[in-house]
Amino acid sequence: MFVNTPQQLAEKKLLLLYILNEIEGALTNSQITQFVLENDMMNYFMLQQFLAELKESGFVHEGEGGHIQLFSITEKGRNTLNYFINRIPQHQKLEINNLIAFKKESFLGGTEIKADYTQLKDATFAIKLMIIENNVPIVNLKLNVSSQQRAKEICENWRKDAVGIYGKIMEML
């Protein structure tokens, strides 16, 4: 569990990026901590340091949903992970994939991302975007657009990175 070399430190950060990428959603700090500690991947202090460094470097986004901090991988983080994916041993990726498959429903069970659209009478489309945490709506955003293609794109983008988009909106406000 002890990490000494810069290469080992980088591999642990890649491991965190891999976990966030494979989850395909946002996780709370406690969910990440529980997953990493239960599976003896690194200690608590290392994990918190690495999350902070990944966030500071723009590889991980920390979005705020009500009073809950949600972490998700950014496009920059995904690109970096794809570039260095071979540095994570295959057996470790397989183990993580199996653990995630087992835990994914419980991780994402408390967080729901919704994106739907309907056509209105005047050939416009009403879009409804939501983030729901433990049955409490954190974000409820309604938009109107003039084309079905644009409505589909917006819904798809929301499903891919709702937490990141919400974080950007909050920064602008």
Q: What is the pLDDT of residue 110?
A: 62
- The domains of the chain are located at 6-109, 111-172
Tens-of-pLDDT digits for all 173 residues of the chain?
455 677 778 888 999 999 999 887 778 888 888 888 888 888 999 999 999 999 999 999 887 655 567 888 899 999 999 999 998 889 989 999 888 887 766 665 566 788 999 999 888 999 999 887 766 777 889 999 999 999 999 998 888 778 778 777 777 77
For residues 163 and 61, the answer to whether their CB atoms sit within 8 Å is: yes
Nearest CA among 10, 24, 39, 28 for reference residue 73? 24
Q: What is the pLDDT of residue 24?
A: 73
- Domain 6-109 carries which CATH code? 1.10.10.10
Q: What is the pLDDT of residue 65?
A: 55
Q: What is the pLDDT of residue 66?
A: 52
For residues 7 and 13, the answer to whether their CB atoms sit within 8 Å is: no
